[in-house]
Every structure is written in structure tokens, then in C-alpha cells.
Amino acid sequence: MQFGPVHWRNPLELGKILLTENQIRDRVVELGQRISEDYAGDPPILVNVLKGGVVFLADLIRAIDIPIRIDFMEVSSYGNATESTGVVRILEDLSQSIEGQHVLIVEDIIDTGHTLKYIIENLETRHPKSIRICTLLDRRGRREVDLNLDYVGFVVPDKFVIGYGLDLAQRYRNLPHIAVIEDEEIP
Ligand code: IMP
Ligand code: MG
């Protein structure tokens, strides 16, 4: 069997490409380099928010050249709808202590910010040395809470996006690019 570049044969006929694979790759490498420099003396634990952030994390950590650790949290804020409820539930918690450690939260997209605010407040009670945020996408036009984002891949418009980890009702996470879908395309 021969392994080579995979081409997305069926473009799913859903949405328009907002960010190509190449654009994402270049930006992720830049973010990884900045993170490597900023934390050179004291590598952080990257806390990934499942499931949307998992594709970004997988690429980001390979662009970082200091000995970081990773851990996961799964929270639920969306159900299967496309609107944030502001109600956040921890489905899966970290497997290690973050006390005295630098924490870098890795997110797919910050929308209203409710999910992230909840996570930050929760992690702060565990006394980390610092908490910073790295998000691939920032839909800042819809922000409802005040947040300081330290590393941002792309600022995106107020449209629903899928691919590269981001889902629509749990599907399309495996698209290699990020596509934007119009309201009337959402089933
Ligand atoms: P927030 O609490 O409104 O900031 O919602 C954040 C979470 O909702 C993100 O981490 C995503 O998992 C999900 N989300 C927000 N916008 C989108 C989108 O356009 N596509 C897919 N998931 C999204
Ligand atoms: Mg998320």
C-alpha cells in the first residue's frame, strides 16, 4: 500500500472554503514558533478542549520545539445546535495537577466566550502559575464576556464554520480546510 497526500474527493457540497489547508498550516507554524520562544525557560501544559480543538492541537504541538505536556478537558456548551447556551458542563477533566505550572489553553474557536470563561475560572481554583489562551479562530464580533486572547490564528466573520476539528452536529470535523456555511445551509 502506498501512502501519499490525501485529496478530499467529496467536498461535501457544504459551505465555501474560508481557510485553506496551506493557510492554516502556515499560521499554525507561526503560532508554534511564538509559543516555543515565549515559554522557552518553562514549558507549559497545553490544555486542549475536546473535541473541536483536537486537530489544531495535533498540528500545533508538532510546531513547538520545547518539551511541553498535553492534557484534555471535555466540556459541553452546544448540544447539537449552533447557538451557545452559556451553560457549560465538564464531561471529562484533566488527568494531572496544574498547580504551579504554566497552562496554555488550546481552543478551536472562541465565540461568545462563555465556554472559555468557565474553563478559566475553573482552572484558576487549581493554582497554576499562569493561564494563557491560544485559539485557532476568534469570532470576536459575537463576544459576550471580556477575555484576553494571547495567541490567535485567525479572526473570522460572524458565520458558522466547519472543518479542521469544528463540527456541525458532530460531523465534518475531518475536513482538512475550514469552510463557512450560511444559515440557510444549516439543516
Ligand atoms: P462559546 O461559549 O460561545 O465561545 O462557544 C465556544 C465553543 O462552541 C467552541 O469551542 C466550539 O466548540 C463551539 N463553536 C462555536 N462556534 C462554532 C462554529 O462556528 N462551528 C463549530 N463549533 C463552534
Ligand atoms: Mg471548542
User: Minimal CA–CA distance to 136: which of 126, 151, 117, 146?
Assistant: 151
Q: What angle do CA 109, 84, 159 make, to 5 degrees?
A: 55
User: In sequence order, what are the residues at sequence separation of 6 or more whose Cβ sits closer than 8 angstroms to the Cβ of residue 121?
Assistant: none
Is 111 annotated as catalytic?
yes
Task: Identify the pLDDT of residue 5.
Answer: 58
Q: Is the peptide bond before 51 cis (omega within 30 degrees of 0)?
A: yes
56 Cβ closer than 6 Å to some ligand 1 atom: no
Residue to probe by mutation, ligand 1, list 47, 143, 166, 180, most atoms within 8 Å of CB: 166
165 Cβ closer than 6 Å to some ligand 1 atom: no
User: Could you give the percent of the chain with pLDDT greater than 70?
Assistant: 87
111 Cβ closer than 6 Å to some ligand 1 atom: yes
CA of 51 to the centre of ligand 1 (A): 11
Q: Is the distance from CB of 60 to CB of 134 less than 8 angstroms? A: yes
The answer as to CATH 3.40.50.2020 being correct for domain 11-180 is: yes
pLDDT tens readout for residues 121-167? 999 999 999 999 999 999 999 999 999 999 999 999 999 999 999 99
Strand partners, 107: 135
End-to-end CA distance of the chain: 38
Question: pTM of this prediction?
Answer: 0.90
Q: Which residue is it, cell 485557532?
A: 136
Q: Is the pLDDT of residue 85 over 70?
A: no
Task: Identify the pLDDT of residue 80.
Answer: 47
pLDDT tens readout for residues 43-56? 999 999 999 999 99
- Domains of the chain by residue range: 11-180
d(CA 136, CA 141): 15
Residue to probe by mutation, ligand 1, list 111, 138, 143, 164, most atoms within 8 Å of CB: 111
Question: How many Å separate Cα 55 from the centre of its chain?
Answer: 8
User: In sequence order, what are the residues at sequence separation of 6 or more whose Cβ sits closer than 8 angstroms to the Cβ of residue 172?
Assistant: 12, 14, 162, 163, 166, 179
Closest atom of ligand 1 relative to the 51 alpha carbon: 12
Strand partners, 154: 137
